[in-house]
Amino acid sequence: MYLKSLELIGFKSFGKKCTLEFSTPITSIVGPNGSGKSNTAEAFRFVLGEQSIKSLRGKRGEDLIWGGSSEVPRSNRASVKAVFDNTKRLLDIDFDEVVIERVVYREGTNEYLINGSKVRLKDVSNLLAGANIGASGHHIISQGEADRVIVATSRERRQIIEDALGLRVYQYKKEESLRKLEKTEENRGQVEALRHENIPHLRFLERQVKKLEKARVLREELVYAYHEYLKHEEDHLQFERESVAGLREEPSREIREVGKRIENIRSELEKTKKGNKESEALLTIEKRLSELRTEQTTFARSVGRIEGQISFEERRLEDEKKKASEEEGRPISYSTVRSFWDELTLILKERDDEEDVDMLKKVLKEARRTVAAFVGHHLVKTEYIPDTSILLRLQKEKEFAETKSVDISKDILEQEQRMRLLSEEIEKEKDESREIERELFTLIAAQTELRSTLAKLDARESTLRRDEDEFKREIGEGIVLIGRQIQGYKDFVPKDDHTDLGLDDEKERTLQTERRRNLEKMKIRLEEIGGASADEITKEYTEVKERDEFLEKELVDLEQSAELLRKLINELEKELGEKFTQGLTEISTQFNSFFALMFGGGSASLTLSEIKRKSKSDVDTMLTDGEIPEEDDTQAGVDISVSLPKKRIQSLMMLSGGERALTSIALIFAMSQVNPPPFLILDETDAALDEANSRRYGDMIQNLSEKSQLIVITHNRETMSRADILYGITMGIDGVSRILSVKFDDAVTVAK
Ligand code: ATP
């Protein structure tokens, strides 16, 4: 025996606790009409998880709770406990005894418990399904419901048969898999949407990263270009420094000697001039020339110095302009515009009705002043004009020094001309005594020559200084652009060795100018790419990319699980189909023999209904009627066909009440025979049977009780006689149902 007992507290008419023990194969429940017999059958449905209150003859959960009478107050909860012997592990749970309990409260909430632990309805359903017991299953035949299996549609009938065959588990599993599949598809949709959302950002970052890569390559190129340029420049400067110093040595020494000699001759001539007018003139010219040349050197130097200052000033102004141009296009903040607007509104406020022209003019003037001030303020910001006064002053100074220098050169030329004339005059005299003057001429000519050589060296040196400054400046700028790496130029090794380092010729300088131009171009290109922080972008890119990859993987995983679920559903459907077809054949055979037994002949069978493909016009009618045509018609329903002995009937509907009851019983018993449920509850299934059939019914339940425990609610004496235990249910004036064990002889009386 699997079912041990049923305990009812506050359930329907069971206002007080009652327990029914089921220790024998057949238990019969008897009692007068309205005493509460059917309530016990419903208590079974209830505790096994029935969700339709209507099928428990109520409207709300509350209707299932003892409603009270004048003697016994109403209850707040109804509870039913079903106790199972589980030593044979009928239920898939590791307990020898399993107590399933359901409680309903007045406000409608339900509680489910397995061995005292709260569980979900689903847990109860799953546990029972595994044991071929269900809430509204085939094994609880309620009063008047016996022919349910006959009046049901062929599809409903299929479900009842599936239930009876214990195939509900497959349905549950299939439904669960379908739910999971739906959830998986939903997740997939979400993940896809997330990925889709992520894409523009990812693409943006990809572009940034590419740009950064470009910048990195360009920067590397720039480093190389810098090193190459600076290395050549340094070599050139070194070469220049050495050559200028080397070339200066001899003329410097010579000019010192020539100077000394001229000095000596001058003092000699001072002593011997004695009224010699040529000598006197010669000395004057020489003195003047010497002064002029000193002056010229001073001016030449000052031109050089001013030129240096000018180029510095020009660069400074250029930088300032550049900085100012960066300011241009910078947006004006909203708060600035807002406060300007507020100011303007304040001036113009409530002047709409002003009629005094003078007043209006005043307001207009004030408004214009405010607008001008705003525009003016921001104009200064955007159109920056640097102060060039210093540059202009320097240019003037240079101009002055140059003019001076030109004037002096003219004077020098004049003096030299005079000296030449004088020298010719002296030459003509062919006087031995003029030897000293001749030497002076030669020396002055030599001095002129040497001075010009030295002046050229001076110019070269000043260019050198400028180039040295430029070199230092270039390194400074390089540090800003590429950092300490700039110092690497010292160890520069050319990529291709046909570049001649240290070769200082015109060709090399042209090449160097070309390199310089290239360097500037690269700097501009690098600036254009912009200075986004490489670390930040790369970090963000990696993160976003990783997220995308994660989502992609997630999609693959979800697709895989969806595929597995689809496969599982297919397998379940296949297995269900196979088991169903086999079970149906078996039930049909049993049905046929029970039917023949009940009717003393004839035949009955179960067949799969033909799948009727809906015609297009049918579908259209359904759609216009607001119905949704069922797509899945692969699951055919089950049809019943019967043939009574000596009668020709076309439809089940043509059977008499008794015949219908017999047919139903035959089918119910056939189902129980093929897959015996642990217990079977029959609520007045025998009501419509005549004496002869009651006997056959009695034989059959006895036969069935070998495989299933039977609980029969009955008024039928024959049925009662087959029971091992009889419970009488009575209801006193307090409206509470009570249970008492009765003997067979008393039962007949109790039942009345
Ligand atoms: P019959 O032989 O006529 O089929 P029965 O013994 O099966 O009768 P039930 O239908 O089980 O009788 O019981 C019906 C009785 O239960 C009614 O008297 C009804 O008033 C009572 N009843 C139903 N619900 C409640 C409730 N919530 N509280 C109190 N009594 C209830």
What are the tens digits of pLDDT across the range 334-386? 778 888 888 888 888 777 777 888 888 888 888 888 888 888 777 655 556 68
Q: In whole angstroms, what is the distance from residue 325 CA to residue 91 CA?
A: 86
SS3 56: helix
Q: Please give the domain boundaries of the chain with CATH numbers for all domains.
A: 1-139+724-735 (3.40.50.300)
Residue located nearest, by CA, to atom 17 of ligand 1: 34
| pLDDT given at position 625 | 55
Residue located nearest, by CA, to atom 14 of ligand 1: 34
Of ligand 1's listed atoms, the one at least distance from the Cα of 31 is 6
Instruction: Indicate whether 628 pLDDT > 50.
Output: no
This prediction's pTM: 0.57
Q: What mean pLDDT is predicted for residues 309-323?
A: 83
Q: Kind of pairing, strands 709-713 and 97-105?
A: unpaired
Cα 736 to averaged position of ligand 1 atoms, centre (Å)? 9
- Give 254: exposed, middle or buried? Use CB within 10 Å, 0-12, 13-18, 19+: middle
Q: Which residues line ligand 1 (CB under 6 A)?
A: 12-13, 31, 33-39, 63, 65-67, 143, 735
| pLDDT given at position 385 | 67
Neighbours of 436 (CB within 10 A): 14
HSE value, Cβ hemisphere, 13 Å, CA-based, for 455: 14
End-to-end CA distance of the chain: 30
Contact (Cβ atoms closer than 8 angstroms) between residue 735 and residue 15: yes
Summarize pLDDT for 567-593 with one digit per residue, the tens. 999 999 999 889 999 999 999 999 999
Cα 13 to averaged position of ligand 1 atoms, centre (Å)? 6
**469-485 per-residue burial string, b: 16 or more CB within 10 A, e: under 16:** eebeebbeebeebbeeb
Q: In whole angstroms, what is the distance from residue 292 CA to residue 298 CA?
A: 10
Q: In whole angstroms, what is the distance from residue 31 CA to residue 8 CA?
A: 17
SS3 161: helix
Give the model's confidence band at 654: pLDDT under 50 very low, under 70 low, under 90 confident, else very high: confident
Cα 29 to averaged position of ligand 1 atoms, centre (Å)? 14
Phi, psi of 478 (to 5 degrees): -60, -40
What is the share, in percent, of the chain residues with pLDDT greater than 70?
A: 90
> Both tokens of residue 361?
């003019």
Instruction: Indicate whether 283 pLDDT > 60.
Output: yes
- Ranges of beta strands (E only) in 499-592 are none
Q: What mean pLDDT is predicted for residues 427-443?
A: 74
Cα 722 to averaged position of ligand 1 atoms, centre (Å)? 25
Residue 92 falls in which region: left (phi positive, over 0), alpha (psi -120 to 50) or beta: beta
DSSP per residue, 147-193: THHHHS-HHHHHHHHHHHTT-HHHHHHHHHHHHHHHHHHHHHHHHHH
Q: In whole angstroms, what is the distance from residue 478 CA to residue 481 CA?
A: 5
Residue located nearest, by CA, to atom 2 of ligand 1: 33
Give the model's confidence band at 273: pLDDT under 50 very low, under 70 low, under 90 confident, else very high: low
Residue located nearest, by CA, to atom 27 of ligand 1: 12
Q: In whole angstroms, what is the distance from residue 696 CA to residue 632 CA?
A: 42
Residue located nearest, by CA, to atom 25 of ligand 1: 12
Give the model's confidence band at 609: pLDDT under 50 very low, under 70 low, under 90 confident, else very high: confident
Q: In whole angstroms, what is the distance from residue 159 CA to residue 600 CA?
A: 29
**Nearest Cα to Cα of residue 214 among 534, 651, 458:** 534
Residue located nearest, by CA, to atom 13 of ligand 1: 36
**Nearest Cα to Cα of residue 295 among 444, 412, 442:** 412
Cα 468 to averaged position of ligand 1 atoms, centre (Å)? 116
| pLDDT given at position 33 | 92
Give the model's confidence band at 632: pLDDT under 50 very low, under 70 low, under 90 confident, else very high: very low
Residue located nearest, by CA, to atom 18 of ligand 1: 34
Quick one: DSSP state of residue 558?
H
Give the model's confidence band at 744: pLDDT under 50 very low, under 70 low, under 90 confident, else very high: confident
Q: In whole angstroms, what is the distance from residue 44 CA to residue 37 CA?
A: 12
- The Cα-based distances of 3 to 25, 40, 241, 662 in angstroms read 10, 14, 116, 27
Q: In whole angstroms, what is the distance from residue 64 CA to residue 77 CA?
A: 9
Summarize pLDDT for 195-222 with one digit per residue, the tens. 998 888 899 889 888 888 888 888 889 9
Cα 25 to averaged position of ligand 1 atoms, centre (Å)? 26
Instruction: Indicate whether 234 pLDDT > 50.
Output: yes
Our mutation pick for probing the ligand 1 site, out of 6, 11, 12, 59, counting the most ligand atoms within 8 A of Cβ, is 12
Q: What mean pLDDT is predicted for residues 598-625?
A: 72
Residue located nearest, by CA, to atom 26 of ligand 1: 12
Residue located nearest, by CA, to atom 29 of ligand 1: 13
Torsion angle of the four alpha carbons 265, 268, 274, 277, in this order, in degrees rounded to the nearest 10:
0
Q: In whole angstroms, what is the distance from residue 416 CA to residue 400 CA?
A: 24
- Give 494: exposed, middle or buried? Use CB within 10 Å, 0-12, 13-18, 19+: middle
Residue located nearest, by CA, to atom 31 of ligand 1: 13
Of ligand 1's listed atoms, the one at least distance from the Cα of 67 is 28
Cα 678 to averaged position of ligand 1 atoms, centre (Å)? 27
Summarize pLDDT for 85-122 with one digit per residue, the tens. 999 999 999 999 999 999 999 998 999 999 999 999 99
Cα 34 to averaged position of ligand 1 atoms, centre (Å)? 5
> Both tokens of residue 641?
């066909």
> Both tokens of residue 561?
């699980």
Phi, psi of 676 (to 5 degrees): -60, 125
Contact (Cβ atoms closer than 8 angstroms) between residue 149 and residue 160: yes
Our mutation pick for probing the ligand 1 site, out of 35, 104, 715, counting the most ligand atoms within 8 A of Cβ, is 35
Question: Using CA of residue 500, residue 502, residue 505, residue 507, what is the dihedral sign?
Answer: positive
Sheet containing strand 679-683, strands side by side: 140-141, 679-683, 709-713, 26-30, 725-731, 737-742
Query: Helix 277-327 and helix 168-272: axis angle, to 10°?
Result: 170
**Nearest Cα to Cα of residue 522 among 105, 87, 215, 258:** 215
The overall longest dimension of the chain from CA atoms, in Å, is 189
Q: In whole angstroms, what is the distance from residue 87 CA to residue 98 CA?
A: 10
Instruction: Indicate whether 181 pLDDT > 90.
Output: yes
| pLDDT given at position 144 | 80
Residue-averaged pLDDT of the chain: 86
**Nearest Cα to Cα of residue 713 among 39, 10, 19:** 39
E strand or H helix at 79:
strand 77-85
Q: In whole angstroms, what is the distance from residue 669 CA to residue 700 CA?
A: 8
Phi, psi of 738 (to 5 degrees): -125, 155
| pLDDT given at position 734 | 93
Residue located nearest, by CA, to atom 30 of ligand 1: 13
Neighbours of 302 (CB within 10 A): 17
| pLDDT given at position 9 | 97
Q: In whole angstroms, what is the distance from residue 567 CA to residue 278 CA?
A: 130
Our mutation pick for probing the ligand 1 site, out of 13, 18, 77, counting the most ligand atoms within 8 A of Cβ, is 13
Residue located nearest, by CA, to atom 21 of ligand 1: 13
Contact (Cβ atoms closer than 8 angstroms) between residue 582 and residue 612: no
| pLDDT given at position 380 | 54
Summarize pLDDT for 285-308 with one digit per residue, the tens. 888 888 998 898 888 888 888 988
Residue bearing the bigger pLDDT, 685 or 283: 685
Q: Kind of pairing, strands 679-683 and 737-742?
A: unpaired
Residue 287 falls in which region: left (phi positive, over 0), alpha (psi -120 to 50) or beta: alpha
Question: Using CA of residue 700, residue 702, residue 703, residue 705, what is the dihedral sign?
Answer: positive
Instruction: Indicate whether 633 pLDDT > 50.
Output: no
Summarize pLDDT for 532-554 with one digit per residue, the tens. 567 788 888 999 999 999 999 99
Q: In whole angstroms, what is the distance from residue 277 CA to residue 429 CA?
A: 14
| pLDDT given at position 550 | 94
Q: What mean pLDDT is predicted for residues 703-710?
A: 92
Query: Helix 657-674 and helix 534-599: axis angle, to 10°?
Result: 120
Our mutation pick for probing the ligand 1 site, out of 33, 39, 40, counting the most ligand atoms within 8 A of Cβ, is 39
Contact (Cβ atoms closer than 8 angstroms) between residue 707 and residue 676: yes
Instruction: Indicate whether 646 pLDDT > 90.
Output: no
Place of tokens 């002064």: 291
- One-letter amino acid at 83 equals V
Q: In whole angstroms, what is the distance from residue 743 CA to residue 30 CA?
A: 11
Q: What mean pLDDT is predicted for residues 732-750?
A: 84
β-strand partners of 646: none
Contact (Cβ atoms closer than 8 angstroms) between residue 214 and residue 529: yes
Q: In whole angstroms, what is the distance from residue 460 CA to residue 241 CA?
A: 9
